[in-house]
Structure 1
Amino acid sequence: MTAQPIRHADSKALHEAVVARIGAALRAGVAGRGQAVLAVSGGKSPVPIFEALAALELPWDRVTVTLVDERLLPTDHADSNEALVRRHLLQREAAAAAFIGQRGDAASLDAAADAADQALATLPQPFDVIVLGMGEDGHTASWFPDGDRLGEALDLDGKRLVLPMVASSAAAVPERLTLTLPVVARAGLVLLPLEGAGKLRTLERAMQPGPLTEMPIRAALRHAHAEVHIAG
């Protein structure tokens, strides 16, 4: 089980701490092997982190940014994670970073997952930083409790980096692409910033014993080098 959450006075302090942790890890990655990899999640919560990170002076030209998960949507769709990252992170200083998405121009979910798996296999492993999010149902990435390939995604012995996932609970877009647990578990640093009473209650439940498939965030908490940052 992960260490106890790191509590910050407010959202601003949480964002500053997470940005500082990401920056330090990326600098260390570039210093150690000449390049670094950052995988990020979508949603509204990470936007302030993205915008602060974009202004940070880093060797961005030696950083590759990729996604933790993606919806099967056109890459310019307002709800695509790639579009979110391009709008809020790959700007200013961070515009120099390389980017590898998951959706591409593939005609099907399986084809998109295969292409993303092959593309991410060209990156140095393990990834330096992965920033996760969490839903109030206990999902993270696109590891939904009702996901059709959840067991495969959470298999620590699995060889895939990216899998397709279909989950009826996944809001308006049930067809997803997602990193697998082995990728997350190997990462040098996994950050989980959380705000709001609902998510903190979910975290409390997730930190209790129980099946990974019931609350998939448990897989990251138990098997990754995870830091949980909370505000309030």
Structure 2
Amino acid sequence: MTTDQFSMRMAVVETNAQDLQEAVEIASKIERQDERDLTLLDIAEMQARSNQIQAALYTASRIVDATDQTAAMEAIAVGQLDAGDQTGALHTAKLIPAEIIRSRVVMHIAIAQARSGNVQGAIETVKEIDYPLRRSVVLHDIAFTRAKDGDFPGALAAARGIVSELARARAYRTIPAVQTQRGKMELVRCWINTLTSPIEKSSALLGVANGLLDNGGIPPDASCEQLHLVNPSRD
């Protein structure tokens, strides 16, 4: 067994024994960078799961390989999010150099914020995502989730944050469908009438139609039923 292999095995032993600081010290003595980085990554992930965030950040800072360090930072941000520290998770996420990974973590943070009722915070968090398409996807997801939970003002706030008119129109189709299914027609009419974009308004009205169809359609008017009884041949 080489010295590096022995050090790696000892680091694993200390990690499993929850003596993570000792594990870091042992791992730091591993001469081969790839083996040292992988061992430090394992330790950082364990520290993150144990909510030892500062220690995990320190461990991650000692990782040389960019990919391994990114994985460690992602694990730390997820650990913070799982612990309910959305602010800390966002701070850590911003330190992740790889845009794809950073965006993925930010997406989870924004969705968690929205589900906890902090829709405005979620909208601000989404701005940290570099690509407009990804931002639109997250905001649409937030709008749909808030609508399902009955938070229609939050759903509309998320939809308004979507930059693309077409993507925003899709969100406006989703929200009234849910509202109509729940018998909130008056609320739907109020905000649809404020829309100035023909694309957005037509999409929202289509959402109303979808909601009505899901509810079994529009109840027949009493006068129509009476007309049918008087003159059924007109059908």
Question: Do they fold alike, i.e. is TM over 0.5?
Answer: no
**Structure showing greater relative contact order (alpha-carbon pairs closer than 8 Å, 6 or more residues apart):** 1
TM-score (normalizing by structure 2): 0.26
Q: Considering fraction of residues, name the structure with more helix.
A: 2
> By percentage of residues, which structure has more strand?
1
- Select the structure of larger CA radius of gyration: 2
